Amino acid sequence: MSEQLVFQPSAAAIARTHVTKAQYEQMYARSISDPDGFWAEQAKRLDWVKAPTIIKNTSFAYPDVSIKWFEDGVLNVSYNCLDRHLATRGDQTAIVWEGDTPGTDGKATYRELYERVCRFANVLKAHGVKKGDRVTIYMPMVIDTAVAMLACSRIGAVHSVIFGGFSPDSIAGRVADCGSKIILTADEGRRGGKTIPLKKNVDEALAKVSGVETVIVVKVTGNPVAMTEGRDVWYEDAAAQVGAECPPEPMNAEDPLFILYTSGSTGKPKGVLHTTGGYLVYGALTHQLSFDYRDGEVYWCTADVGWITGHTYIVYGPLANGATTLMFEGVPSYPDASRFWQVVEKHKVNIFHTAPTAIRALMGAGHEFADKYDMPSLRLLGTVGEPINPEAWLWYHKHIGKERCGIVDCWWQTETGGHMIAPFPGAIPTKPGSATMPFFGVQPVVLSPEGRLQEQTKAEGVLAIADSWPGQMRTVYGDHQRFIDTYFTQYKGYYFTGDGCRRDEDGYYWITGRVDDVLNVSGHRLGTAEVESALVAHPKVSEAAVVGYPHDLKGQGIYCYVTLMAGEASDDALKSELRNWVRKEIGPIATPDLIQWAPGLPKTRSGKIMRRILRKVAENDFGSLGDTSTLADPAVVDDLIANRQNR
Ligand code: WT7
């Protein structure tokens, strides 16, 4: 029913838009028919040391996948985000910072940010960091984190930001994978009234991985932390010893900019590698057009910089556009469920961008928390990270947007660098729950699960992309074969997204969620394989299988089937022990929601776990288990159903 609802862009949105409906159609068509011409023009939004003459050089042809954009161009990302704005907007606020504790805030103008970045870059150089070196950043939501990222880009170092919620083990794995010799961290972070022991976590990680020579520690809370002589340095001490000037390193467009680890359906998280020119062109363009950003507006994306959304839509896209971007240290529920709206009023936010999981939680807390705030500054609302249910969309539109603000549902991935499917706010009518239409240069296709191209408009299947766009990841760091295996092998000639989708009669895309063994828990991506390997690492666990199930707030919850070693007592104490164990191994986002003791798992005679059955039982939908005749022991299923945890 609500899927039939269509919201036209408001008169105000149409009046101010960068791109009208007719322009969208005409520019989209050109971006597909003449990608070289289209992207050569778009590249001019950046300042290049040497402008590119070769624009698109890409192939999805299996097995020789190769992706290059602007390959003879030379530029520097931090120059584009900072230096080039100084003459026109040096005194404009670049970053507004709002602290976890109400009443704490700060800001940096473009000039101040520039100065802080140059100094930080000199600290990195003084500690031996060179172009191409990997720098791990494990920091909280403070301005210095953006400074650290930009400082890396200034000298051509490749950052690998790790979300502050990840555990010491997760840090160790990522540090080892990219071979970084330096970690930038803080004493502690703050979140929801609690402190997060960042430096302590780094210390624990470094007990498990070798090769890190330097840890630079930014003072955030000022609480005492252990410092290891000869390895650990306070940032403020190091900064006092370096100069203020740091020229930007000229980088080839295809030089790496950053690595960001993300979960896949198998194995350990993979290092998604993004490069310099294509990523920045795409990030800046999508930021400007998806949010119809204009000079002087205050833009707030509530993501953490530890995720791709924070990279592209808190730091790089907005700053390349000379925007004012807000960084929020806290959480939506602290001190209470009105915090977001207080911050919107306080900083006169024009564009607000968050995740469905936060919207659902705030909806659950009650609209009274938002009703107290008129928020006249708000113009546009964004949602990203997971499918948004129409009910939450409509609540967001009514209670936050006061039926005045458009909603931009952005579908994309860590791998895509920037938005892929999202409505241009002044051009595309929206439908609650649909990410709508593709961005310039993006050619979505719907395939049947077996790989047949669905040519009719109305279609359902898996979502793939037919050709490259500038923001696309280039490889899995250190493992190009894994890049090809993961994205280009199952459906040859296409980039496979891992998502299912439906295209309606108007050509609108409706993302239905992952079709692989990747979970989306509160907008955070998690491989079932990672949770399984954490569980089987526990001495009392013999075997584990993990699936997702629908969860009202989180989108998906984590459902674990656990087989214990012979003789272990299957009691609640052990369940909470396992929950804590997984938290410690991966991080709080991976905490199991439901654990079911499974004396046996449903396996085929060849020993393969039939996940389809496990998913059905976890969804409490076991009426239609499908064909179970290939099971080695069909009685296992009866036991699973009888003891199911989600009723
Ligand atoms: C997966 C990517 C880059 C955004 C932050 C998450 C899901 C993302 C939407 C949306 C439906 C969405 C997909 C995708 N997803 N945005 N608007 N509607 N689903 O990035 O951690 O790389 O996760 O998030 O399943 O594949 P990520």
Q: What would you report as the CA-atom Rg of the chain, rounded to the nearest whole angstrom?
A: 24
Residue 385 in contact with ligand 1 by CB distance below 6 A: yes
- For ligand 1, atom 6, name the residue with the nearest CA: 385
Residue 436 in contact with ligand 1 by CB distance below 6 A: no
- For ligand 1, atom 19, name the residue with the nearest CA: 386
Does residue 234 carry a pLDDT above 60? yes
> Using an 8 Å Cβ cutoff, are 529 and 517 in contact?
yes
Q: Which DSSP letter does residue 218 get?
A: E
Does 634 show up as a binding residue in the annotation? no
Task: List, as own/partner pairs, every contact residues 450-453 make where C-beta atoms lie below 8 angstroms and the sequence separation is at least 24, other chains included.
Answer: 451/490, 451/491, 451/492
What is the torsional sign of CA 174, 543, 609, 570?
negative
For Cα atoms 279, 150, 208, give the angle at the middle one, nearest 5 degrees. 95
Tens of pLDDT, residues 581-634:
999 999 999 999 999 999 999 998 888 899 999 999 999 998 888 888 888 888
Residue 509 in contact with ligand 1 by CB distance below 6 A: no
Tens of pLDDT, residues 412-446:
999 999 999 999 999 999 999 999 999 999 999 99
- By three-state DSSP, how is residue 275 classified? strand
- For ligand 1, atom 7, name the residue with the nearest CA: 386
ipTM of the predicted structure? 0.99
Does residue 1 carry a pLDDT above 70? no
Q: Which atom of ligand 1 is nearest to the CA of 308?
A: 3
What CA–CA distances, in Å, run from 410 to 118, 131, 465?
33, 33, 16
Does 306 show up as a binding residue in the annotation? no
Could you list the beta-strand ranges (E) of 552-634: 555-564, 594-597
Give percent above pLDDT 70 in the chain: 100
Could you list the beta-strand ranges (E) of 152-287: 158-161, 182-186, 189-191, 194-196, 214-218, 232-234, 251-252, 256-262, 270-275
Mean pLDDT for the chain overall: 97
Residue 377 in contact with ligand 1 by CB distance below 6 A: no
CA distance 543 to 561: 8
Distance 596 CA to ligand 1 centre (A): 28
Q: Which DSSP letter does residue 604 get?
A: B
Q: What are phi and psi of 317, to 5 degrees?
A: -60, -55
Residue 355 in contact with ligand 1 by CB distance below 6 A: no
Q: Go through the chain and tell me how many residues it has.
A: 647
Tens of pLDDT, residues 260-297:
999 998 889 999 999 999 999 999 999 999 999 999 99
- Give every CB contact of residue 482 below 8 A, 6+ residues apart in sequence: 270, 476
Distance 569 CA to ligand 1 centre (A): 39
CA distance 466 to 341: 40
Mean pLDDT score, 136-147? 98
For residue 393, the model assigns a pLDDT of 98
Does 277 show up as a binding residue in the annotation? no
Residue 309 in contact with ligand 1 by CB distance below 6 A: yes
Tens of pLDDT, residues 47-64:
999 999 999 999 999 999
Does residue 2 carry a pLDDT above 50? no
List alpha helices for 90-167, DSSP H. 110-126, 143-155
> Using an 8 Å Cβ cutoff, are 280 and 316 in contact?
yes
Does residue 571 carry a pLDDT above 60? yes
Q: Which atom of ligand 1 is nearest to the CA of 525?
A: 21
> Using an 8 Å Cβ cutoff, are 178 and 134 in contact?
yes
The pair of three-digit structure tokens given for residue 285, joined into one six-digit string? 């363009």
- For ligand 1, atom 10, name the residue with the nearest CA: 411
Q: Which residues does residue 499 pair with via DSSP β-bridges, in sequence order?
A: 514
For residue 3, the model assigns a pLDDT of 52
- For ligand 1, atom 21, name the residue with the nearest CA: 525
Does 193 show up as a binding residue in the annotation? yes
Distance 605 CA to ligand 1 centre (A): 36
CA distance 147 to 184: 11
- Give every CB contact of residue 641 below 8 A, 6+ residues apart in sequence: 617, 622
Residue 114 in contact with ligand 1 by CB distance below 6 A: no
Our mutation pick for probing the ligand 1 site, out of 357, 520, 589, counting the most ligand atoms within 8 A of Cβ, is 520
> Using an 8 Å Cβ cutoff, are 180 and 169 in contact?
no
Our mutation pick for probing the ligand 1 site, out of 163, 388, 408, 413, counting the most ligand atoms within 8 A of Cβ, is 413
Buried b (16+ CB within 10 A) or exposed e, 102-133: eeebebbbbbbbbbbbbbbbbbbbebebeeeb
Buried b (16+ CB within 10 A) or exposed e, 32-44: beebeebbbebbe
Does residue 331 carry a pLDDT above 70? yes
CA distance 54 to 481: 26
Distance 200 CA to ligand 1 centre (A): 31
- By three-state DSSP, how is residue 140 classified? coil
Total-model pTM: 0.96
> Using an 8 Å Cβ cutoff, are 627 and 604 in contact?
no
Our mutation pick for probing the ligand 1 site, out of 511, 518, 556, counting the most ligand atoms within 8 A of Cβ, is 511
- By three-state DSSP, how is residue 505 classified? coil
Tens of pLDDT, residues 531-562:
999 999 999 999 999 999 999 999 999 999 99
The pair of three-digit structure tokens given for residue 638, joined into one six-digit string? 């009866």
Residue 152 in contact with ligand 1 by CB distance below 6 A: no
For residue 630, the model assigns a pLDDT of 84
- Pairing mode, if any, of strands 406-410 and 380-384? parallel
The pair of three-digit structure tokens given for residue 25, joined into one six-digit string? 């159609």
Q: How far is CA 235 from the centre of its chain?
A: 27
Nearest Cα to Cα of residue 324 among 341, 307, 340, 301:
301
Does residue 23 carry a pLDDT above 90? yes
First to last CA, the chain: 27
> 3-class secondary structure for 564-600?
ECCCCCCCHHHHHHHHHHHHHHCCHHHCCCEEEECCC
Distance 624 CA to ligand 1 centre (A): 29
Q: Which DSSP letter does residue 256 get?
A: E
Q: Cis omega before residue 335 (within 30°)?
A: yes
Distance 3 CA to ligand 1 centre (A): 20
The neighbour count for residue 331, using CB atoms within 10 Å, is 16
CA distance 342 to 400: 12
> Using an 8 Å Cβ cutoff, are 99 and 107 in contact?
no
CA distance 411 to 386: 8
Q: How far is CA 51 from the centre of its chain?
A: 30
Does 275 show up as a binding residue in the annotation? no
Q: Which atom of ligand 1 is nearest to the CA of 524?
A: 21
Could you list the beta-strand ranges (E) of 305-424: 324-328, 351-354, 380-384, 406-410
Our mutation pick for probing the ligand 1 site, out of 515, 525, 526, 589, counting the most ligand atoms within 8 A of Cβ, is 525
Residue 270 in contact with ligand 1 by CB distance below 6 A: no
